[in-house]
Amino acid sequence: MPQADPERPLEPEPERGLLLAVLPHGADEDDELAELAELARTAGVTPVSRVVQRRARSDPRTYVGKGKLAELKATYGDARADVLLVDDELKPTQQRALEDALSARVVDRTQLILDIFAQHAVSAEGKLQVELAQLEYNLPRMRGMWKHLERLAGGGGTARVGGGVGTRGPGESQLETDRRLANRRISLLRRRLREVGGHRATRRKARSRAETPTVALAGYTNVGKSTLLNALTGAEVSVENRLFETLDPTTRSFEHAGKRYLVTDTVGFIRRLPTQLVEGFASTLEETLVADLILHVVDASLPEDVLREQIRSVETVLSDIGAGEVPVELVLNKVDLLDPLGRRRVANRFPEAMQVSAADGTGLGELEARIAERFAGRYEEVRMLVPYDQGKVLSDLYALGAPIDERTDTEAGVLVRARLPHREVRRFASYLVAGSGAEGLGGA
């Protein structure tokens, strides 16, 4: 039996999690809880058991009914669980009720996702967003951090936090101090994010002036968007098989037929992405709003019902954030996992979609050509003669994103062949020479 390396730190044992959900009658609990189980594993928790209650809506005080609460307590103990994971966003009162009943840690869906985001945030902006979202989530729950005050009323009377004999003083003051500090920190984080957002907007304006086509990768988490970005652009973005592996937006470029295109990878979507997370992580989602084209990447190897459900989820979020007007191309990734019959089936179900494999390169050339076709009319090839005493003209050309394909020094000046955005052609009309694609403009 191999012995452990004494110099290698021991891996911590994963936490054991009990999954809990309230589902309507007729809902498939395997489908409904599959995503929660995957979120749990991504956060380092091993799902060991689950409890499901069938009812139209959750109990407003304890989330589950009294009978199910007793069953939950027994199951939690039998499973030797470390944490209860709830597939819903709990109200603070529901969370406290479950914690008190089980004497256990209770983590709802939003808190679980925030924990994963905290693990994956890399950039300064991503870390600011995580901290802001966590503070906004925890602020209404701060009372629970001081729940020992509830027992200070004594004598079996009704406990009142922040009111009643024996409850006033340092404890109450500390709670209010914590809230004030949290609110102050939230204001500071929002201000910093606005500043970062301003820098990002400036960069986007520069891209817009250069008329460089921008493509955003959107899709369900874990469908291979980052792998596709790497395959198209030669980037080295992390592609570990974990939910939300990409949190910060990453932009890289590729060239096709001498033209440059920008591609941005965005955070992966999931079903029922909490509203405050959509708002809190607007920076990565904003890249879809300002894109000229969205590539909606899906995992072609999934069962059709799961695939269509994920497509609907992404389309809903895109609509919610105001990206519904941006042109979209559906991209079926991971076709290398399908046999020929499977490929024909997805081709019949999604006849307009591109079939690619970011893993083995299948279809990437066709995808690049499809992207280029989308923007074929954006540029116009021109020939220009720039006198030597007007060097600023060349500087202006390079400021547009270096659209110069060729330059030759002649006696009369610098002869250049360039690709100009349509709206910029008239600006340089006086320098155009015969044979330019823009002949006929005044001064040519």
Query: Is residue 238 scored above 60 in pLDDT?
Result: no
Q: 106 - beta bridge partners?
A: 84
On the question of pLDDT at 416 being above 70, the answer is yes
How far is residue 220 CA from its own chain's centroid?
9
Q: What is the average pLDDT value for the chain, to the nearest integer?
A: 80
Q: What is the DSSP letter of 5?
A: P
pLDDT confidence of residue 117? 79
pLDDT at 274: 67
The stretches of 210-300 forming alpha helices (DSSP H) are: 225-233, 275-280, 282-289
pLDDT value at 203 more than 70: no
pLDDT for the residue 313: 84
In terms of average pLDDT, the best of 28-42, 354-368, 380-394 is 354-368
- Residue bearing the bigger pLDDT, 29 or 167: 29
What is the rounded average pLDDT of the residues 202-231? 77
Q: Residues 233, 236, 237, 241: what is their CA dihedral angle, to the nearest 10 degrees?
A: 110
Which has the minimum average pLDDT: 57-71, 151-165, 237-251, 373-387? 151-165
pLDDT at 140: 82
Q: What is the mean pLDDT of residues 110-135?
A: 81
Write down the pTM of the prediction: 0.65
CA distance 200 to 203: 5
* Per-residue confidence (pLDDT) for residue 346, from 0 to 100: 94
Q: CB neighbours of 171 closer than 8 A, spacing ≥ 6?
A: 146, 148, 149, 152
Q: How far, in Å, CA of 367 to CA of 258, rounded?
A: 16
pLDDT at 336 over 70: yes
Position 435 scores a pLDDT of 60
> Taking residues 156-184, what's their average pLDDT?
59
The burial of 160, by beta-carbon neighbours within 10 Å (0-12 exposed, 13-18 middle, 19 or more buried), is given as middle
Secondary structure (3-state) at 299: strand
Query: Locate tokens 């024996």: which residue?
Result: 166
pLDDT in tens, 294-305: 999 999 999 998
- Give the model's pLDDT for residue 433: 87
Helix (H) or strand (E) holding 203: helix 170-209
**Binning pLDDT at 50, 70 and 90, where does residue 284 land?**
low
From the list 334, 129, 123, the residue with the least C-alpha distance to 224 is 334
pLDDT at 245: 53
Q: Is the pLDDT of residue 429 over 70?
A: yes
DSSP annotation string for 19-35? EEEEE-TT--HHHHHHH
Predicted pLDDT of residue 398: 78
> In the block, which residue shows the tokens 């986007």?
204
Percent of all residues in the chain with a pLDDT value above 90, rounded to a whole number = 35
The model's pLDDT over 60-108, given as tens digits with 9 standing for 90+, comes to 999 999 999 999 999 999 999 999 999 999 999 999 999 999 999 999 9
